Amino acid sequence: MYRLQLFVCAFAVLVGGCAQAEDNSPAISSAQADFRVITVANGLKHPWSLAFLPDGSYLVSERRGKLWRIAPDGQKTEIIGVPDVYHEGQGGLLDIALAPKFSDGGHVYFSYAATAENNEDIANTEVARAELNLQQNRLTDHQVIFKAQPKVEGANHWGSRLLFAPDGMLHITLGERFDYKEKAQDPTNHLGTTIRIKPDGSVPADNPFADGTQGDPKVFTYGNRNVQGIAVHPETGEIWAHEHGPKGGDEINILKAGANYGWPAVTFGISYWGLEISDKTSAPDMEDPILQWTPSIAPSGMAFYMGDRFPEWKGDLFVGALAHKHLRRLELSGRNVTEEEELLKDAGARIRDVRQGPDGYIYILTDETDGALLRLEPLD
């Protein structure tokens, strides 16, 4: 009966019902913690990313190019001043991140798909920052700080996650733009890489290719396919990232400066048409993943949980799944994944983003035509 109740409520969330379900949301049992899912807001059209504002409201991006400020009661207010984006295929307005010392008027960083200035047939990921005026709900002083090169044809594999590391540097994940996978083995371009820059877009002197002789100065790692989850390990300070495989071969990696993560020279996956991409799953001078998923779950969003609301989950890693439509919890022992659990799989929703809020709850975004911002709360 519990599974049926959960499915009915989850379906209602996705079509616009169960809007404020605090009093009647069903209890959900998991291996270590019992919880309920609270709908903070629905009616979002393919939301992509979530950030938490100092006043307790939420900032949510939609792929179509909308940015919303959502009050704790679910009331949505559109943020004006968002630049035009290339909204085709998987492209659009993507990740958002607040500057580490954000305050009213502080910088918001956002990634998005953008065409070339003189050719609308080619595009790639760009990152900009702008000042967010919370009194006027407006972005001002828009500055583009990074443009992925080269711009190419196609509408898939933009990467686009943003992360401020403990040293204050901004990391940007980039896809290999699907049809250009061989470029991922070339660190002199940006396709299939992660980028490390200063908050103003300039190059840190300690970047692995800072002198430009063996790679682009802004490149931090290469040989990546399409990274859409990145997080700092709360104890070690290491940067963990997951990336989409093709048909099979999704990976979790620990990012190291200058390292090659293999795509497409090595992979656990095959092409979407069933053809072999590589006969190798490992090679010298290429980093092996700490975990791979075959079949693919299509991971998106990533967060280490370190809050007190769910003490049973402290130290666990949470990953959204688009294809398999669940929230995956991973128990860790050092760098090893010891257990995995699928949560919310009865809801049938594509989970695009997962974050720990400043209040210690877990928040997720469902990537649907009528998507939702949801909060996981423990049972009293």
Which domain covers residue 202, as residue numbers?
Answer: 2-378
pLDDT exceeds 50 at position 22: no
92-103 pLDDT per residue, tens = 999 999 999 897
Question: Percent of the chain at pLDDT above 70?
Answer: 93
Rounded Cα–Cα distance for residues 280 and 278 (Å): 5
Q: What is the pLDDT of residues 59-90, one digit of tens each?
A: 999 999 999 999 999 999 999 999 999 999 99
The domain total for the chain is 1
301: left (phi over 0), alpha (psi -120 to 50) or beta: left
Q: What is the mean pLDDT of residues 33-55?
A: 97
Spatial strand order in the sheet of 162-164: 162-164, 170-173, 193-197, 219-222
**Mean residue pLDDT across the chain:** 94
Q: What is the pLDDT of residue 10?
A: 47
**pLDDT for residue 274:** 97
**Would you say the C-alpha torsion 42, 46, 50, 53 has a positive or negative sign?**
negative
Res. 26 pLDDT band, cuts 50 70 90: confident
Which pLDDT score, from 0 to 100, does residue 282 have?
A: 98
Tell me, what's the pLDDT at 104?
Answer: 62
CB 318 within 8 A of CB 355: no
Residue type, 225: R
Please give the pLDDT value at position 157: 98
pLDDT at 4 over 70: no
**In the 8-state DSSP scheme, what is residue 154?**
-
Please count the CA atoms within 13 angstroms of the CA of 309 that sit on its side-chain side: 18
Strand ranges for 136-182 from DSSP E? 138-147, 162-164, 170-173
Strand order of the sheet with strand 239-243?
227-232, 239-243, 250-255, 291-293
| Residue 5, pLDDT score | 37
Q: Residues 157, 171, 242, 326: which is the catalytic one?
A: 157
Residue 6 has pLDDT above 50, yes or no: no
Query: Could you tell me the pLDDT band of residue 24, with boundaries at 50, 70 and 90?
Result: low
Calpha distance 287→335 (Å, rounded) = 14
| Catalytic status, residue 157 | yes
Q: Which residue has the tokens 């709908």?
A: 39
Mean pLDDT of the region 306-324: 98
Query: Domain with 50 in it: what CATH number?
Result: 2.120.10.30
DSSP E strand stretches across 233-322: 239-243, 250-255, 291-293, 299-304, 317-321
Residue 364, strand partner residues? 354, 374
pLDDT at 14 over 90: no
Mean pLDDT of 118-144: 97
In the three-class reduction of DSSP (H, G, I as helix; E, B as strand; rest coil), residue 330 is classed as: strand
Calculate what percentage of the chain has a pLDDT beyond 90.
Answer: 92
- With a CB cutoff of 8 Å and minimum separation 6, the contacts of 24 are none
